[in-house]
Chain A
């Protein structure tokens, strides 16, 4: 984003912009003078839309070659050696995208095209806030592939790079984000290979979006070294080894080098190497050490100089080990903490020493690698012995983190001390080891061991591994799930379940022969061998075809239309066919069937969903994916106890995603514990992908607790941050409705109904508004439409547990059409009774049965079901009071008493929640 706010693009002020002959200094688009364009308007001639259309009709210039696949090209926005970039509009959705098209190839063989496609698809699978998303990889009619991606309205960093010189903090902030994005891609096995300011785009808020992962070589003629510097662009960003080594030999270090070069330029205003032409620059980079940052910009801090120098080391092995470690150092600098690398060249000296004493260094490394204490004795030098001991010790260093108590959703701090003590007693018997206990290391701590948390913890404790996990009470005692992570957070070294009768028995359980302590030490040894098990790679990720289908399916899952969901199902079915051993493909297939059933109910879909989820579970019961799928499936069938169990099993199996936390939260809400749900949602929010991902659901929890102000705030956040989804707005409408403000609810609904017509949750709410406000004719029309669209749908409505059939039954009775009313009611009873057999403790089903009975005037039965429903967790008494289905029992004193007691119960829950918050649990309050 530009600084002066003049233009959307960064280069709004330019020294080169020539003045127009008219004297004006402002231009738009391709150098058109604003003043001249305005003055055109003062002339008399003008053409109407119709006469202009006629003129266009007469000319034979058609847009056929300005359409690519499903896109209408709007304008060319860039051109490289081999490719061209357009701003384009996706025809059916109207979405504006950037479109990249390859114009020519080094080779036009089929194999090359396939490779391009595969690499583009791999890049498309990257999902990170600071990586420019690729939407689609497709083939044009000319047989040449093209791909569409997010249009970054802020342009690229190229014209803006000079503006960062005066703002080193912003430069470092920006680069830390870019480094995190690069780290994410490296973890997925994708190198960028051509990082430079032109490939870092900016969104409307100036947030960086890295583009062209692994694709640069297809789009830029960077191999042409004979060009002059101006044509070549900025060769100073390429690591020296990139010029001489084949692409297959390159490592993450090439991107680390480029990051350093960009940082150098942002901070100092010039790239590290400057010369007449490309070859001279490359030569310099290969021959000379990069200049020290402060020789160019003396005012900058020494730490920044050290960071740059470390990135720009000529030897790739001497650079930062990963983009993540670089990011961390940048973050440390931003937080005024000491950075991890030192300007004193101890590591470099050691490295140089090892080059001179290669054999000794190999022996030394062998000791480190094997953890073989015996090898120590063979070494004569005391200094070396000490160095090796330190290395072995460092390799076996663990930070022990608080465990997540699955019973309460809170951190079990006492576990840290207990486990730390036990390990300290046990591990030294096995070899050198260092144990560091850490309390909650950061405010945004979820306790599920996601990548960021692990990395922060390892950094704080300065250890190579991090131990975390969960604890909960089970029938026979206490169950611990223990996870050992590599310090980078992206790799699990080991994972164990431990059942003990009581927590006091922990030391004995660790000590047992072949017990956790031994397994743990062995896992740390394996870590030093760098034997990263290939076993945790899913089969669908190994097979090219399966991976392609799998990634395509995942992208489709996020959309919510029937055709997309059908396509997602097909993709996952194909992925399962190509990789039958894939647990992930089966788990996602189950979710796709579930999603399909959600759009129009069909028992066959649910049957298949459960079947494939259970197959996945049978393939690997320690994998979180099938548990997550089953949690979702049981949630949708209303079997919440089972759903909760699988959700917790997913966490125990090491699911680090916030989605798992969100699911557990949702289940607690359905079990009638919105106060617990709020706590778990709070945890999920700590690492949500986009702001307000969970706020609509949080709003529902606050709504159930009758904390309407909190609910409104949450719904508003959901509506504002996710304007493409109706949930927040529906919640606000529903809140008006619950407060008996029918006119207000209706007005709010109408304001935005047009935007969300495609969502099936929208119409039921309007129907409910009309139903509750006793506008029966309109309600009947709406419910009939809903029923016609989805005859088997029974639970699609968002609020109030009102199926279209039961509402229609009530309305038929109102008009005296007893035959139709009874018929509908019979259907309701049949379906609800069938469901209550499956999930006898489902509050919503019991509530529906209570309503069914109330419609018929069976007061006693209705009250009994209502009582059962409340016992199972029904809380929404405000809805019950307004619901016309309960008209026949409304006057009953027992009914009134039940609802008053329920209101008191809700007030109790509310107090329980608010009285807990002041304890300083930041996760308690979501905002």
Chain B
């Protein structure tokens, strides 16, 4: 992707440029900034969609509103609509979304367009990187839309990292290995039967142990890269991860930064 290529180039020059910092530094929808923003939106459409669904819209209406919202964002109105003091991409997007839904014309405009304009190619995106978030019914029913948004965001971050990790393995002819070992990414070491996995894949238990270790390391790196893309600087990554962990752990959502 163009935005990716641009970012990679920057990294080689010694800068860590995140997609979000590119967006922020532009302010106006200049080509590179809007490409980075579009890429971010392509990754994080599910939290927006889940938020709108929870607000009581039907699935098709929520899809149309999501399309419309992203078009507005891509057209460059995100920063005007959101808090001028800026912030993380996650909270900024949520604020913009809330404003968008409050705007009484938004819905009528979306209806007028009849959802014809598409930013999200639902079928394709869902096929390319399907999401399988599952939540205990009681929790899912009681959470407010903001919490649904954050949880869905957290899930998107980890699923995106898993997806990228899977692609890296596949590009090196190791997709099958990934599909077996990825189940144990977050497992305690004592819970993993290296012998059984080794038998399944036809290699020694030791080799599995080493490989799982490397896989976890790589996953960690990718996860941090993904989070980094949504914040302004590397210093904020830990804080963002902690925030998302806290959302998942508590009954009441912590105050958004």
Chain A residues proximal to chain B, CB less than 8 Å: 1-9, 11-15, 17, 19, 22-43, 45-49, 51-53, 55-57, 59-63, 65-66, 72-76, 87, 96, 151, 153-154, 203-206, 716-717, 720-721, 723
Contact = CB atoms under 8 A, between A and B. Distances in A.
Interface in B212-257: 214-221, 223-224, 227, 237-238, 241-242, 244-245, 248-249
Contacts of A9: 130-132
Contacts of B237: 41
A15 B122 CA distance: 27
Given A4-B53, A5-B59, A59 B152 contact: no
Contacts of A73: 175-176
B78 interface: no
Contacts, number: 246
A176 to B, nearest CB: 17
Nearest to B123: A204
A28 B158 contact: yes
Interface stretch (B81-89, B101-109, B164-172): B164-172
B52 A5 contact: yes
B155 A52 contact: no
Interface stretch (B12-20, B21-29, B91-99, B201-209): B201-209
Nearest to B250: A23
Contact of A63 (B135, B170, B218): B170
Contacts of A23: 249
A8 B132 contact: yes
A40 B185 CA distance: 9
Given A40-B220, A42-B242, A153-B123, A55 B130 contact: no
Contact of B154 (A38, A49, A51, A62): A38
Nearest to A97: B127
Contacts of A206: 59-60
B136 A61 contact: no
A42 B217 CA distance: 11
For the complex of A and B, list the 10 residue pairs with the smallest distance between their C-beta atoms, beginning with the closest: A5-B53, A204-B122, A153-B126, A47-B217, A46-B221, A36-B186, A96-B127, A55-B214, A25-B136, A41-B223
Given A12-B134, A17-B136, A6 B218 contact: no
B139 interface: yes
A35 B174 contact: no
Given A5-B62, A38-B157, A19 B136 contact: yes
B73 interface: no
20 contacts: A8-B126, A25-B136, A26-B135, A26-B154, A26-B155, A26-B248, A29-B159, A32-B185, A35-B154, A41-B241, A46-B217, A47-B214, A47-B218, A48-B221, A59-B203, A65-B176, A96-B128, A153-B122, A153-B126, A720-B117
A37 B185 contact: yes
A62 B134 contact: no
Contacts of A5: 46, 49-54, 59, 62
Contacts of B219: 40
B130 A66 contact: no
A537 B216 CA distance: 61
B220 A41 contact: yes
Nearest to A60: B203
B132 A14 contact: no
Given A42-B238, A45-B217, A723 B121 contact: yes
A691 to B, nearest CB: 8
Contact of A28 (B133, B203, B238): B133
B30 interface: no
Contact of A27 (B54, B133, B245): B133
Contacts of A37: 158, 161-162, 185-186, 223
A26 B133 contact: yes
A173 to B, nearest CB: 12
Given A45-B220, A46-B217, A14 B154 contact: no
B41 interface: no
